[in-house]
Structure 1
Amino acid sequence: MVLISKYLVPKGYTGLTVFPFVFLRSKHLKKDAVLMNHEKIHLKQQLDMLIMPFYLMYAIEFLVRLFQYKTWDLAYRNISFEREAYANEVNLDYLKCRPPFGFLKYLFVNDV
């Protein structure tokens, strides 16, 4: 379910996925196929991890990456969940062939 809320989506971001919802900053973003694919990849990741463990792993990996890269943006972009989503967001068929736990491929690769 897609909901519009400029207050729930952090400044500097266009979307946020909290299973089973995708929050977008503005209504016109619903038509952005690449953004919606990115957020749907996050929904699949959350299902892979049985939802709550996803958020715990996301937070822990973010803290590790923040220590590693020293900047918020680099830490965020190097989280394995984000790497998978960004690497495949333009492939609108990705979710049809995505393996379970597809983000693991991005856990130990070089930084972006």
Structure 2
Amino acid sequence: MIIISKHIIPDKFVGLTIFPFIFLKNKDLKGNRTLVNHEKIHLKQQLELLWVPFFLWYSVEFLIKLIIYKNWHEAYRNISFEKEAYQNESNFNYLNQRKLFAFLKLL
């Protein structure tokens, strides 16, 4: 389910997924198939790990990457969950062919 809310989404972001919802900053973004597909990949990841373990893993991996890269943006882009989503956001069949725990190969 897609919800429009500019207040929930942090600055510099246009979308955020918290299972079972996709939050978008404005209604025009609902038509952005690539963005919505990116967020749907996150839905699948969160479903696999369940909500709390997903966000714990995401946070710990981000902190480790921040130590490694010493740059917030580089750390974010190199989180395995984000790498999977960015690499496959334009492949609209990806979720149909995605293997279980596919993000693991991107650690």
Q: Distance in 2 between matches of 1:85 and 1:56?
A: 18
1:29-68 to 2 correspondences below 5 Å: 29-68=29-68
Q: CA deviation at 1:32?
A: 0.4
Q: Partner residue of 1:96? A: 96
Deviation of 1:73 after TM superposition, in Å, equals: 0.3
Give the secondary structure class of the aligned counterpart of 1:22. Answer: strand
CA distance in 2, matches of 1:60, 1:50: 16
Runs of 5+ consecutive residues of structure 1 not aligned to the other structure: 108-112
Q: Percent identity?
A: 58
2:71 is equivalent to residue 71 of structure 1: yes
Greater share of residues in helix: 2
| TM-score with structure 1 setting the length | 0.94
Structure 2: where are the runs of 5+ without partners?
A: none
What is the RMSD computed on CA atoms of the aligned residues?
Answer: 0.5
2:27 aligns to what?
27
Alpha-carbon shift at residue 8 of structure 1 (Å): 0.6
Is 2:44 aligned against 1:18?
Answer: no
Shift of 1:98: 0.2
Q: What TM-score do you get using the length of structure 2 for normalisation?
A: 0.98
Number of aligned residue pairs: give it. Answer: 107
The whole-number CA distance in structure 1 between the counterparts of 2:12 and 2:75 is 15
For 1:100-111, list aligned pairs within 5 A: 100-107=100-107
